[in-house]
Amino acid sequence: MKETKKYILIVDDDLDILVFCEKILSNIGAVVLKATNTEDALSKVLEYAPHMVFLDINLENEAGFALLDALKEREILKHLKVYMISSEKSKESILLSKKYGVQGYLIKPLSNNTLINTVRKYSKEKALPELTAMDEYKEAKVFVPGEIIKFNEISFVIRSKVKFMTKEKIEIESNFFNEMNVKKGHIKIYQKSRDINPGIYDTVMQMIGLPESILQLIRKRQKRRV
């Protein structure tokens, strides 16, 4: 059986920190995802469902806590292992981090041992979220020939010749979704399509409100895919 990749997301506006973490964590077999702002970080959480997140508190022009708010709103935060990283040692920041329910608070500069030991301590497989449907989004019906090129319990990426806009609910007819028993109304577009080649676009779709039984089927399918 093919081993499932372990994704770790690093969110920091300091490029040196991103390079340092990627170098250390890739050496122990992790796939390192990087983001410099909360919008990009949220996109990567939905696309890759990372096993761990290291989040800087003070990002450029925004606070890292904004990402926690976005994850909490989508009922994802409670399923993620999040560590705050900061040069701040203020009691206020530490207490606020604890209030969000994160796993820990690491003080910069990070050492090799601190980073590695933290990952190894919490590297067990995590449960992924059961998301709540949001009825306020505008519905859109389209017929789009496309290919699912990546998927996990939270989301999937579809490659097609149609460019989608964000926050539209869609219906997808697919043998894969029929097999997984994913019903209509459980899929919405998370963000605008990304250009891949002229006339070809990749779009991240979010699956919402799936029961645990279907999530388990997707996990099994994910483990045996090539």
Q: Is the predicted pLDDT of residue 106 greater than 90, yes or no?
A: yes
Q: pLDDT: is 217 or 22 the higher one? A: 22
The residue ranking higher by pLDDT, 90 or 127, is 90
pTM above 0.75, yes or no: no
Percent pLDDT > 70 in the chain is: 82
pLDDT at 57: 92
Average pLDDT of the chain, as a whole number: 79
DSSP 1: -
Q: Which residues are paired to 56 by β-bridges?
A: 85
Task: Supply the pLDDT for residue 139.
Answer: 44
Tens digit of pLDDT for each residue in 9-58?
999 999 989 999 999 999 888 899 999 999 999 999 998 889 899 999 98
- C-alpha torsion angle, residues 57, 192, 126, 86 (rounded to 10): -10
CA distance 166 to 79: 24
pLDDT value for 141: 46
Q: Which residues contact 171 (CB under 8 A, 6 or more apart)?
A: 141, 184, 185, 187
Q: Is residue 54 helix, strand or coil?
A: strand
169 or 160, which is more confident: 160
Q: Which residue has the higher pLDDT, 201 or 106?
A: 106
Contact criterion met (CB below 8 Å) for 71 and 99: no
The whole-number average pLDDT for the span 167-183 is 72
Assess whether pLDDT exceeds 90 at residue 120: no
**Exposed e or buried b per residue across 55-93, where buried means at least 16 C-beta atoms within 10 angstroms of its C-beta:** bbbbbeeeebbebbebbeebebbebbbbbbbbeeeeeeb
Which pLDDT score is estimated for 45? Answer: 92
Evaluate if residue 110 carries a pLDDT over 70.
Answer: yes
Residue 51: partners with Cβ closer than 8 Å, 6 or more residues away? 6, 7, 8, 81, 123, 125, 126
Determine contact, residues 54/11, Cβ cutoff 8 Å: yes
Phi, psi of 200 (to 5 degrees): -125, 130
